[in-house]
Amino acid sequence: MGEDRPAWARRIAAERAARDWSQRDAVRALRAHASSDLPSEESMIRQWKRWESGALPSDFYQPVIAATFGTVTNALFPAPSRRDGNQEILAVSGMETLEIVSRLNRSDVDTATLDALRITTDRLCSEYPYMPSAQLLIEGRQWLRRVVELHSKSLTLAQHREVLALSGWLKVVP
């Protein structure tokens, strides 16, 4: 099975393997957590194989699978992101990412730029359930580098405090 499978499919396979369970063992454990009767064992084993290969379990099975592995549903099957960070930034500040970056390179920083940075930081800090961690790490470090460069710009005391706070938040992005 390749790496093109969804993260949740790779994780349920890894969780099963970590417990040294066969797929039959996993189905038996699944039955113990189900609130109602499940189809035959052979049918459930075929279903389990489909899940591990990337077929999304139904809303009925997702919490049962999570309970089988001792976790919560959203930890295994995160909800898709409902946020569009670029649209949020554009709506509040009227700027796109490229314009924010070009404004950061100026000698002074205005309120709109700090607002856009605040939204970008908030988006990065809340996207970890939806964005691949490697991508989030790269993007977070790029923004941290840009924000840290602001320390050398001409800032008011309030702007300096805001830049320090944003730097701190970006530092904790995975």
Distances in Å between the Cα of 77 and the Cα atoms of 4, 20, 58, 99 are: 16, 22, 11, 35
**Residue 71 pairs with which residues in a beta bridge?**
none
When pLDDT is averaged across residues 43-70 and rounded to a whole number, the result is 92
Three-state SS at 128: coil
When pLDDT is averaged across residues 124-135 and rounded to a whole number, the result is 77
Spell out the residues 6+ positions from residue 7 whose beta carbon is closer than 8 angstroms to its own. 132
CA neighbor of 121 nearest in space, from 100, 94, 102, 107: 100
pLDDT score recorded for residue 170: 84
pLDDT in tens, 148-170: 888 777 788 888 888 888 888 88
The values of phi and psi at residue 165, to 5°, are -65, -45
pLDDT in tens, 70-87: 888 887 887 766 666 667
pLDDT for 174 beyond 60 = no
Joined tokens for residue 33: 């957590």
Distance of alpha carbon 48 from alpha carbon 27, whole angstroms: 7
pLDDT score recorded for residue 92: 67
Distance of alpha carbon 31 from alpha carbon 33, whole angstroms: 5
Instruction: State the maximum Cα–Cα separation within the chain, in Å, rounded to a whole number.
Output: 70
Distance of alpha carbon 152 from alpha carbon 55, whole angstroms: 51
Can you give the pTM of this predicted structure? 0.49
Binned at pLDDT 50, 70 and 90, residue 106 comes out as low
Distance of alpha carbon 174 from alpha carbon 138, whole angstroms: 9
Q: Which residue has the tokens 């940075």?
A: 117
Distance between start and end Cα atoms, the chain: 27
When pLDDT is averaged across residues 12-20 and rounded to a whole number, the result is 90
Q: Which residue has the tokens 């409902």?
A: 82
